[in-house]
Structure 1
Amino acid sequence: MSEREDTRKELTRNEVMAQLRALGVRPGGVLLVHTSFRAVRPVEGGPAGLIEALRAVLGPEGTLVTPSWTGSDEEPFDPKSTPASPDLGVVPDTFWRLPGVMRSGHAFAFAAAGPKAHEVTAGPLPTPPHAPESPVGHVCELDGQVLLLGVGHDADTTLHLAELFAGVPYGVPRHITVLQDGRPARVEYLENDHCCERFALADTWLRERGLQSEGTVGHAHARLIRSRDIVAVALEQLEKDPLVFLHPPSAKCDECDEARRSAADR
């Protein structure tokens, strides 16, 4: 543990709840959370305590959603046992294991708890992962909010949804392994994939329109936005430049260069 973390005061669940309310989390709403607990901590109860605070602010009519996908494209996914990708952090991997939490039955899974949990997580494998029929698409349909807690828009899956609504011209070959008739089978698809660093442009677009609430939750910088607002502002920009989220060739970004080549080939 670093010296900075040693000296940070542990916040109580009630203090975290007050921060979430001040930020604008809607009781009774649908809330998709992307988080880095390392930025948030220390809070009372650790990752489970943060989840409790989020659910308490949402109330019994609210639905909490987190990403919960696997980190492997070679191993079939089991929603009852496959850990969430380590890249997602400790909060999502804690959340899906809790009693009463639903999890998608496919490798591009999200987990949810609350009255809308089934609506969010239901459906077959979406390809690409953040298509309109995916959990992130369902959150948008339900007019949910997106909370970026200790992370930026580079972690914002709703921007991938906006790319697909916009019909971006790039799609790089990807695959996932599923079980078909009890046997592993490879499913190939094209994904609107790139390095996502330029998703940070959404900060400016949303701030200019007063659509992004910002503050502190735990010890982390937090952003709160309606899912539909993220999509709307991104669609405006993608209409002007379908490649706005890709680094220019001069940046020599391998992931963005691959996406750019795929656009030229289609």
Structure 2
Amino acid sequence: MPTPLRTGPLVTRGSIAAQLLTLGVEPGETLLAHSSLSSLGWVNGGAVAAVQGLLDALGPDGTLVVPSQSADLSDPAAWSRPPVPEDWWEEIRATMPAYDHRITPTRGVGVIPETVRTWPGALRSAHPQTSFAAVGPRAAEITGDHAPDCRLGERSPLARLEKLGARVLLLGAGYDACTSFHLAEYRIPSPTERVGRPAPGGGWETVAEVSITSDRFDELGHDFERDRPVVRGTVGAAAVRLFPVADAVAYAERWLSVHRPRE
């Protein structure tokens, strides 16, 4: 059977940077990027070229931020994709390696964030399940002091990104991946939950956290794009959206209170 042809278009480091700049990315700004490498087309150099293109567009004074989540450091009782047998749970809790910002890989956020996490000079925040990684002059300011009991709230990099006037770049990713919407969940009445994870010194711990969910984020994103200025375009074959973190959070606060009350 012949090898199937690669799906285009051909995308390069240079074309990614050029198309981002044409779209309106500004050298020197701070971008929170949610991405899908496969959506771009055939990328010559893969994730490395994609990160190089992003950094080229931002220039030496810009900062690239990505989610570097490790949601697998969680209670096996809650796993569903796939689940594990209940008689494994206690041993999994007892033997699961604790979070280490240097070596714990990302999970479920794509290959571009994992590439950024290991990039020379990259810094990563301390939350064991919802960390962020950043490259650039503002990386330390954004990733520092991420509270261990605040996944995506006021003591997380999201609040700092909002304050710094950062923008969100959805690079082939949908609004269901938009972590900025989660910051709004911390500012409206939301239930709390007990979250289990391996403890830094060994063993198992549980902490109280605001309950977060991306349920209906696609609907929220549709309405946000209808009502607020959102830059739209393409990079390679990927649909792209660009908008301020602060706009997304403010809109989500109002929308979630009406459309998804959770008191």
Give TM-score scaled by structure 1 length. Answer: 0.82
- Structure 2 counterparts to residues 160-179 of structure 1, below 5 A: 160-165=182-187, 167-179=188-200
Amino acid at match of 1:146: V
How many angstroms apart in 1 are the aligned matches of 2:111 and 2:47?
7
How many angstroms apart in 1 are the aligned matches of 2:194 and 2:161?
26
Amino acid at match of 1:113: V
Task: Confirm whether residue 226 of structure 1 aligns to residue 247 of structure 2.
Answer: no
Task: Confirm whether residue 148 of structure 1 aligns to residue 166 of structure 2.
Answer: no
- In structure 2, the residue matched to 1:206 is 224
- In structure 2, the residue matched to 1:60 is 60
- In structure 2, the residue matched to 1:138 is 160
> Percent same amino acid among aligned pairs?
34
1:131-166 CA distance string (max 9 Å, x none):
11101221111110001111111111100001212x
Is the 2:193–2:211 Cα contact (8 Å) retained in structure 1?
A: yes
Is the 2:30–2:62 Cα contact (8 Å) retained in structure 1?
A: yes
Amino acid at match of 1:132: E
Is the 1:168–1:192 Cα contact (8 Å) retained in structure 2?
A: no
- In structure 2, the residue matched to 1:251 is none
How many angstroms apart in 2 are the aligned matches of 1:203 and 1:131?
19
How many angstroms apart in 1 are the aligned matches of 2:19 and 2:157?
26
Query: Any gaps of 5 or more consecutive residues in structure 2?
Result: 75-92
Aligned pair in 2 of structure 1 residues 124, 82: CA closer, same or farther (>3 Å)? same
Is the 1:128–1:192 Cα contact (8 Å) retained in structure 2?
A: no
How many angstroms apart in 1 are the aligned matches of 2:186 and 2:246?
14
Task: Confirm whether residue 120 of structure 1 aligns to residue 142 of structure 2.
Answer: yes
Deviation at 1:197, TM superposition (A): 4.0
- In structure 1, the residue matched to 2:90 is none
Query: Any gaps of 5 or more consecutive residues in structure 1?
Result: 247-259
Amino acid at match of 1:9: P
- In structure 2, the residue matched to 1:94 is 115
Aligned residues: 238
| Superposition CA RMSD, Å | 2.0
Deviation at 1:126, TM superposition (A): 4.0
